[in-house]
Structure 1
Amino acid sequence: MRNNPDIRHGRHCVFLMHVHLVFVTKYRREVFTKEILDALHVIFAQTCLDFEAELVEFDGEDDHVHLLVNYPPKVSVSSLVNSLKGVSSRMVRQKNFPSIRKKLWGNALWSPSYFAGSCGGAPIAVIRQYIEQQQTPH
């Protein structure tokens, strides 16, 4: 663990936290092209930096995107998601992609819901076994 370059250090903590996020377009409309996904990749990466987080992986299809984000414990997932969705919606609309204007109206790019799953590190069963094997004092 000491030699793992992915482990990050805060002032009073050592951490390695990842979250898998999935955002779906409003009404599940198929609006994304490669050009839009490339723009979103840049926007998400920059927004993550504002939270001292790192966009580790990104990809998507025509109606949804997947993000893998390494984030510090001081950041709540909900505030990270709100910023990622809000900034990306505003920035993509400012770029005036015609495919989005035709299929979505108003100011919403994203559905209000999202998926967030914690990931990384050892599986739960392994952690549970490790904790159970601790030598409890008598």
Structure 2
Amino acid sequence: MQTPTKTTAHSVYTLNYHIVFVTKYRNKVLTGAIEDHIKEQMPILCERYGWEQLALEVMPDHVHLFVSAPPTTAPVTIAKTLKSILAVSLFKTFPTLKQKRFWGSGLWSDGCYYGSAGTVSAKTIAMSIEDQRSKPA
């Protein structure tokens, strides 16, 4: 996957981030309709904020996102924004999720993994994300 160079009013960039965030206590709840909800919402959220979703895989207890964003947006901002909006959306759509597993806390663990990639390794990262489903848990 060769990601094209993008431009803003004052910059030219190729910034791609591999972001992984996990559920609190590694609870394996991101399956079925919840997984589908995340896969439906993620591209909408990315587009709303001016980011491009390059690859996405939702595992039972974590999410792999490969995203391109302008240099004015820090990767931590991307993760915080998506985690916050997705948690609110998931708890609203699936109220039993909060009651059963996350009644005293948020949906996501505080930390994240952040990796960066330019055009050279973008294909490797995208293939790695797509291969997540075939790896044993």
TM-score category of the 2 structures, normalised to the smaller one: 0.7 to 0.9
Task: List aligned pairs for 1:1-138, cutoff 5 A.
Answer: 6-96=4-94, 98=96, 101-122=99-120
Secondary structure in structure 1 of the residue aligned to 2:29: coil
Structure 1 residue 51 displacement after superposition: 2.1
Question: Take 1:28 and 1:71, find their aligned partners in 2: how far apart are those partners?
Answer: 27
**How many aligned residue pairs are there?**
120
> In the alignment, is the contact (CA less than 8 A) between 2:39 and 2:58 conserved in 1?
no
Give, as a single letter, the amino acid of the residue that structure 2 aligns with 1:41.
Answer: K
Higher helix proportion, which one?
Answer: 2
> What are the superposed Cα offsets for residues 67-121 of structure 1, whole Å, 9 maximum, x if unpaired?
0001111111111111010000000000016456422223511001110100132
How does the TM-score come out when normalised to structure 1? 0.78
> In the alignment, is the contact (CA less than 8 A) between 1:22 and 1:116 conserved in 2?
yes
User: CA 1:80 to 1:43, structure 2 compared with 1: closer, same or farther past 3 Å?
Assistant: same
Question: Take 2:3 and 2:80, find their aligned partners in 1: how far apart are those partners?
Answer: 29
> In the alignment, is the contact (CA less than 8 A) between 1:57 and 1:68 conserved in 2?
yes
Secondary structure in structure 2 of the residue aligned to 1:35: helix
How does the TM-score come out when normalised to structure 2? 0.78
Question: Take 2:14 and 2:99, find their aligned partners in 1: how far apart are those partners?
Answer: 39
User: CA 1:61 to 1:5, structure 2 compared with 1: closer, same or farther past 3 Å?
Assistant: closer
Secondary structure in structure 2 of the residue aligned to 1:117: strand
After superposition, the CA RMSD in angstroms is 1.9
Question: Take 2:7 and 2:16, find their aligned partners in 1: how far apart are those partners?
Answer: 14
Larger Rg: 1
Give, as a single letter, the amino acid of the residue that structure 1 aligns with 2:86.
Answer: S
